[in-house]
């Protein structure tokens, strides 16, 4: 089972018309079982399920999670290139304003996407990289 949890880019990207399409196209290309986003944005969607905030969304999906956090922000983060994806995965993607570090528990893993120039990526871009990495490693 693959569950994707993400945070909308608040205030500058219209969730329904732009950002939702970016996420949805990638998810349809790779497949997923569950998709949720926070905080509630735009209209009422059939997907994703929306939550009022990150804490309530994380609580709705119990179990260990894989947080995607940029390199250098958390000691001991694993580079994606050497990460072994669990069969049942809950991936958590942030946005440009929310710091995910405070939400990581001792049971969770932190993975970083290493690039030559360390740019800040949009979560929908990171999503495509992570799901592609998962597919390639699954064989």
| Confidence grade of residue 110 (pLDDT, cut at 50, 70, 90) | very high
| Confidence grade of residue 109 (pLDDT, cut at 50, 70, 90) | very high
CA angle 51, 44, 122 (to 5 degrees): 60
Q: Determine which helix (DSSP H) or strand (DSSP E) holds 60, and give its type and residue range.
A: helix 54-60
- How many CB atoms are located within 10 Å of the residue 21 CB? 12
| Confidence grade of residue 87 (pLDDT, cut at 50, 70, 90) | very high
Q: Are strands 78-79 and 49-50 parallel, antiparallel or unpaired?
A: unpaired
Sign, CA torsion 96/102/107/113? positive
Residue among 8, 74, 72 at smallest CA distance from 43 = 8
Cα(92)–Cα(123) distance, rounded to whole angstroms? 10
Give CA 64 to chain center in angstroms: 14
The CATH homologous superfamily for domain 2-138 is SPOUT methyltransferase, trefoil knot domain (3.40.1280.10)
Annotated domain spans of the chain: 2-138
User: Which pLDDT value is given to residue 118?
Assistant: 65
| Confidence grade of residue 15 (pLDDT, cut at 50, 70, 90) | low
pLDDT tens, 23-44?
A: 999 999 998 999 999 988 776 7
């Amino acid at each position: 089972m693959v569950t994707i949890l993400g945070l909308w880019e608040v205030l500058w990207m219209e969730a329904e018309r732009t950002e939702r399409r970016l996420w949805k196209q990638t998810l349809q290309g790779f497949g997923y079982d569950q998709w949720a986003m926070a905080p509630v944005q735009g209209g009422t969607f059939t997907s994703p399920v929306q939550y009022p905030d990150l804490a309530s969304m994380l609580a709705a999906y119990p179990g260990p999670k894989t947080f995607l956090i940029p390199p250098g922000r958390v000691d001991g983060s694993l580079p994606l290139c050497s990460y072994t994806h669990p069969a049942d995965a809950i991936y958590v993607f942030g946005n440009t304003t929310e710091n995910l570090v405070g939400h990581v528990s001792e049971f969770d893993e932190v993975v970083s996407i290493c690039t030559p120039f360390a740019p800040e990526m949009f979560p929908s871009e990171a999503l495509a990289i992570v799901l592609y990495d998962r597919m390639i490693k699954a064989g």
